[in-house]
Amino acid sequence: MPLTMPAAATAVGEALLIGLLIGAQREVSQGEGHPGVRDFVLVALVGAVCGLLETPWLTAATLISLTALLCVFYLRGRERSGVTTEIAGVTAFCLGYLTTTPLSRMAVGVAIVVVALL
């Protein structure tokens, strides 16, 4: 069911907040040369837009493309010790998407838990 304009704006705002939280944590802990606030905000917003459009094939294609892009980023990285940032990117997309569903309040809570775990 399509969201009303205020609900859609709230979903986009929540996605922005989620991307900001995760991105700030990654930027502080990883430093330069790694995805940071801008990247994670964009990823979460793309997730929210996919949710607002309610087009399953577009969401699936976007998630697959994002995952492939993050895999390339990981493989090109030097002296990397894990895939935490890449997993956080996919998580930001999924949480951005979740903001457009009836479980939207859960998305912000899960984002806080993710930041605590990172």
- 16 and 43 Cβ atoms separated by less than 8 Å: no
Looking at residue 3, the DSSP 8-state letter turns out to be P
Nearest to 90 by CA among 29, 31, 26, 30: 26
| Residue-level pLDDT at 17 | 93
H helix or E strand, kind and range, residue 117: helix 104-117
Q: Tell me the pLDDT tens digit for each residue of 77-86.
A: 666 666 787 8
Count of structural domains, the chain:
1
Pick 11 or 82 by higher pLDDT.
Answer: 11
- 27 and 39 Cβ atoms separated by less than 8 Å: no
| Residue-level pLDDT at 33 | 64
What does the alpha-carbon distance between residue 26 and residue 34 come to, in Å, rounded to a whole number? Answer: 8
Segment 17-46 mean pLDDT: 84
Mean pLDDT of the chain, nearest integer: 86
Segment 40-45 mean pLDDT: 92
Residue 14 burial (10 A CB sphere; 0-12, 13-18, 19+): buried
Structural domain range at position 109: 5-117
Pick 69 or 80 by higher pLDDT.
Answer: 69
pTM of the model: 0.85
| Residue-level pLDDT at 51 | 92
Where does the pLDDT of residue 21 fall: very low under 50, low under 70, confident under 90, or very high at 90 and above?
Answer: very high
Where does the pLDDT of residue 1 fall: very low under 50, low under 70, confident under 90, or very high at 90 and above?
Answer: low
